[in-house]
Amino acid sequence: MFDLSEIRTSSFASVPDALRLEALNAQLGYAAAHSPYYRETLGALPALRVLAALARLPFLTAETLRAQGRRLVCVPGGEIARVVSLGTSGTSGAPKRLYFTRGDLTRTVDFFAEGMGWFTAPGDRVAVLMPCTAPDGIGDLLCRALRRLGAEPLAIGARGDLYAVGQALAHTPPQVLVGFPWQLRLLSLLCPTLRPRAALLSADYIPATLPALLHARWGCTPLSHFGMTETGYGCAVEHPCAPGMVLRADELVAEIVDTQSGAPLPPGQPGELVLTTLRREAMPLLRYRTGDLARMDVFGRITRVYGRVRVPRAFYEMQDALCALPWLWDYEAREEALLASVAPDAPPDARELLRGLAGGAAVELRRTPPEAAALLRQGKRI
């Protein structure tokens, strides 16, 4: 059922640069006219003649977003349909607040419907292992998109009792699964008899070794999605027939810049992902530094997201290595040790193997009973 022509005819993927430039200039003018912050920073900006000229504009950082808040908003309060507050790592820092109109949220549903349609057929059951209870949250928007496709969303939520989830799904097997990467990994280990056609990994770092493991366990097509609250949850999604995640080109312009200097980098070279919205109504984001290390190819597809710029690369490399171990069910990295839950058939030297992959850190090993860990059944981390 997978057809590569879907990319060439996609309303969000196949957008001519001339139309994107027109939308960009309209967004810049709209932001300068309606946002106090952009009125001050952009002023009377002449129309850009090429998309690459965007690099001459100043960056918008998370710190600025946090500090300026409502001054970036372009619409009256009565037109705001959803506000999302994202806390900081500290306890006293002001949160980032993102504002969305009903139109902003509807366009996310449009993107989800078209992207999911690349590997979801009418009548398919789609298990959504994402938060689903908040109105207009990521799970709610995705379920709406699936209903539009004629699919049946199973709004499971971000649950920890994955053994029980798997047993329930065995009675109504889904054709598609959507969830956090490590969550779907653990579900594949606990419930290998599930046979989804596709598994969409989203909302967290995707270990490089995870797609091969999911394919080996379930025989499915693993696919990647990258999104942020700042992008209305949707940003780029992978097509089953093409490598790399296809950008929402009707809504976003993506750049890769040097993490230190901010200078644009050529295709294929990793750097910080910078995003500019094209049709955002409530809160346009112009050259927003996402804080994510990524790489794009010459076609503008995001081929890899390596994680957060400020997190040591070794942390993600450790995840890549740990993910490939089919006998490792779950783990928690603490400052003093790595706590690992392993299958009964873990090798005798499991502790030494894990210690090597964890950079010599101490390892506390817990072997899991064959009938699946009681802690996992209760939804608790080890």
Chain segment 330-343, per-residue pLDDT in tens: 898 887 889 998 98
CATH architecture of 1-159+228-311: 3-Layer(aba) Sandwich (3.40)
Residue located via tokens 């449009």: 110
- Helix (H) or strand (E) run with residue 101 in it: strand 96-101
Q: CA-to-CA distance for 304 and 183, rounded, in angstroms?
A: 20
For the chain, the farthest-separated pair of C-alpha atoms sits apart, in whole angstroms, at 69
Chain segment 197-215, per-residue pLDDT in tens: 999 999 999 999 999 999 9
Tokens of 115: 């992207």
Tokens of 280: 């955002």
Q: For residue 342, give the 3-state DSSP assignment.
A: strand
- Helix (H) or strand (E) run with residue 218 in it: helix 210-218
Q: What's at 215, amino acid-wise?
A: H
As a whole-number percent, the residues of the chain with pLDDT over 90 amount to 82
| Least confidently predicted of 79-88, 95-104, 126-135 | 79-88
Question: Measured between alpha carbons, how far is residue 172 from residues 153, 167, 175, 196, 381 in Å?
Answer: 12, 9, 10, 11, 26
Q: Is 40 exposed, middle or buried (0-12, 13-18, 19+ CB in 10 A)?
A: exposed
Asked if residue 164 has pLDDT above 90, the reply is: no
334: CB partners within 8 A, 6+ apart: none
Instruction: Identify the band that residue 58 occupies on the pLDDT scale cut at 50, 70 and 90.
Output: very high
Q: Residues 94-117: what's their mean pLDDT?
A: 96
Tokens of 350: 């499991």
Q: CA-to-CA distance for 327 and 343, rounded, in angstroms?
A: 5
Highest mean pLDDT among 48-52, 188-192, 369-373: 48-52
If you average pLDDT over every residue of the chain, what do you get? 92
Q: Is 376 exposed, middle or buried (0-12, 13-18, 19+ CB in 10 A)?
A: buried
Cα of 155 vs its chain's centroid, Å: 18
Chain segment 251-306, per-residue pLDDT in tens: 999 999 999 999 999 999 999 999 999 999 999 999 999 999 999 999 999 999 99
**How many Cβ atoms are within 10 Å of 189's Cβ, its own excluded?**
20
Contact 283, 74 (CB under 8 A): yes
Chain segment 213-237, per-residue pLDDT in tens: 999 999 999 999 999 999 999 999 9
Which of 380 and 355 is assigned the larger pLDDT?
Answer: 355
- Terminal CA-to-CA distance of the chain, rounded, Å? 40
Question: Measured between alpha carbons, how far is residue 19 from residues 148, 169, 250, 260 in Å?
Answer: 27, 44, 8, 32
Q: CA-to-CA distance for 88 and 343, rounded, in angstroms?
A: 36
Q: CA-to-CA distance for 338 and 355, rounded, in angstroms?
A: 8
Asked if residue 70 has pLDDT above 50, the reply is: yes
Q: Residues 108-136: what's their mean pLDDT?
A: 97
Which of 361 and 380 is assigned the larger pLDDT?
Answer: 361
Q: Where are the domains of the chain?
A: 1-159+228-311, 325-377
Strand residue runs (E) in 202-314: 221-226, 236-239, 242-247, 252-257, 271-277, 288-296, 302-308
Strand residue runs (E) in 160-202: 176-179, 198-201
